[in-house]
Structure 1
């Protein structure tokens, strides 16, 4: 079973306003309301690919109840911990002004809720996969990723970490099965600018040497690179298509990789599935469907460079 954790889920209110005027009343041309958060995005794409999974996390208030309902309607098993105080966040995303967003803060997460999450995680074991994605709310301990991995140490759980800088670096010693920085995040870690596929390889290798099993680097329009556990290095150009929505593309790549690896255990196929899923979501108004991913998969060209 694949499990995802979203510490701070949201309802994403995605609107388009063709002629936005500051300081005046504006009316939307289109509206979309979706459950949001990186872990939930991974769960959604996995479900779209026909892969059963369970979403963990924290919800609060009437917004939290709507998040739960929306996630369950997608077919994902929602096992969110309901908080007694606060309200889950609503994120406003204004598509028509260069991806402008206003994101809510979300509720305070008490120690008791964190303990309850840890108890949920205790049931994971061999053949399970856990996806830890995104930032950590200020009300939670900043070493929560490490604590989770320490708790699961020795249980043969595959753990995926999609986080930035110290959050990522601090868990490498626990040997996450997959990490997925983008080229900018990878460059920030080492204080360099990385813009070409060949440039990311030595720095991704450094993260592998620090403990990551597989390193998948997304590069938006420049494609992606995978350094696999078996020593293979794969690179790919970005598939051709029209960018409609960059939100969730990286999460879709994680879902596609896990789906591909689960099907075959083959890293080249997993990489191709990840690239296809990430690109298909970028080419869609919403997160990609199975048919959209399959269509892009047929156009992906993978090169083994090491």
Structure 2
């Protein structure tokens, strides 16, 4: 039987979230009880996939005491782990909701510097997956020590075992990945602007930029997320625009990861591009309803799915 989906996270974190009446300097801030979740792009995607009933194998780097806690948190959500050991401590991130204003403050620490040995171990882990997954989701930032072409190497390793590799990252890591034509990339509008150097102020220019990437053999599909304006999907066969359902946002953490999890899970279940796109939008929107770092809930995503409308772009 074929493994459906694996995820890769080179820069995972323990995400701690809490709330406080008001953020002020100098004074001690008495916070509400904290919540710890396993975090980092690929781990978040695996968490979403598991909630939607998909078996997901999470490949990630761990180190030190915090790394042991991260592994415990991941496995506590029923996700199979493939561990890559590192010498330095796994990072922690901190999210605080200011109750007075409703603003969310996100403190993101840098990840540990990783050696070439750790990078090679991650690629070897992908090559050794048996049976090979249908999809590999490589998601999140690359920490110090990891070369900008690392995701390109992941795409190549995935292709050699017959997997479709989805990449969700930014900056040099994204441009590096495009050298080996991943199955799909998921930039935000800001990330696509940085990649192309273009303003991309209108839908026609966004679609044109995505189509150029596909025509030049840099990727097979582009899922462009636009925040509250929805998203655009461009493939070799067509292009679609989808609205974002209106929701009262409680937290923006993990919306993009929820989008990827919802969409890739739907593709793995046999849905066509347009249907999977709608599933991704619904999951990403549902994540906004959950506090802190909880990500999306399936019941919210299912309810919002009927509100997601798509139109084909000529």
Does residue 1:21 correspond to 2:28, yes or no?
Answer: no
**Aligned match of 1:253 in 254, 259, 262?**
259
Residues in 1 aligned to 2:51 and 2:201: alpha-carbon distance in whole angstroms:
31
Does residue 1:304 correspond to 2:309, yes or no?
Answer: no
Q: 1:32-181 alignment to 2 at 5 Å?
A: 32-83=35-86, 85-96=87-98, 98-124=103-129, 128-181=134-187
Match in the other structure for 1:273: 279
Match in the other structure for 2:197: 191
String of CA shifts for 1:4-54, please: whole Å, max 9, x gaps. 111121111112111222011111135221111011110010001010011
- TM-align CA RMSD: 1.8
String of CA shifts for 1:81-116, please: whole Å, max 9, x gaps. 222x32111111122273322222233322322222
How much does 1:195 deviate?
4.6
Residues in 1 aligned to 2:223 and 2:173: alpha-carbon distance in whole angstroms:
16
String of CA shifts for 1:110-150, please: whole Å, max 9, x gaps. 23222222221113476521111122111222321122223
Asked whether the 8 Å contact 2:112–2:144 carries over to 1, the reply is no
String of CA shifts for 1:171-208, please: whole Å, max 9, x gaps. 22422111000111112222233354444111111222
Match in the other structure for 1:2: 5
Residues in 2 aligned to 1:26 and 1:93: alpha-carbon distance in whole angstroms:
14
Structure 2 length as normaliser, TM-score? 0.91
Asked whether the 8 Å contact 1:172–1:210 carries over to 2, the reply is no
How much does 1:268 deviate?
0.9
Residues in 1 aligned to 2:203 and 2:252: alpha-carbon distance in whole angstroms:
20
Match in the other structure for 2:298: 290
Asked whether the 8 Å contact 1:183–1:195 carries over to 2, the reply is no
Residues in 1 aligned to 2:235 and 2:92: alpha-carbon distance in whole angstroms:
37
How much does 1:246 deviate?
1.0
**Aligned match of 2:232 in 217, 225, 233?**
225
User: Can you give the 5+ residue segments of structure 1 that lack an aligned partner in the other structure?
Assistant: none
Q: For 1:43, what is the secondary structure of its paired residue?
A: helix
Check 1:62–1:187 CA distance in 2 against 1; reply closer, same or farther (3 A cut): same
Asked whether the 8 Å contact 1:12–1:33 carries over to 2, the reply is yes
Does residue 1:213 correspond to 2:220, yes or no?
Answer: yes
Asked whether the 8 Å contact 2:259–2:280 carries over to 1, the reply is yes
Residues in 1 aligned to 2:95 and 2:204: alpha-carbon distance in whole angstroms:
34
Q: For 1:171, what is the secondary structure of its paired residue?
A: helix
Structure 1 length as normaliser, TM-score? 0.93
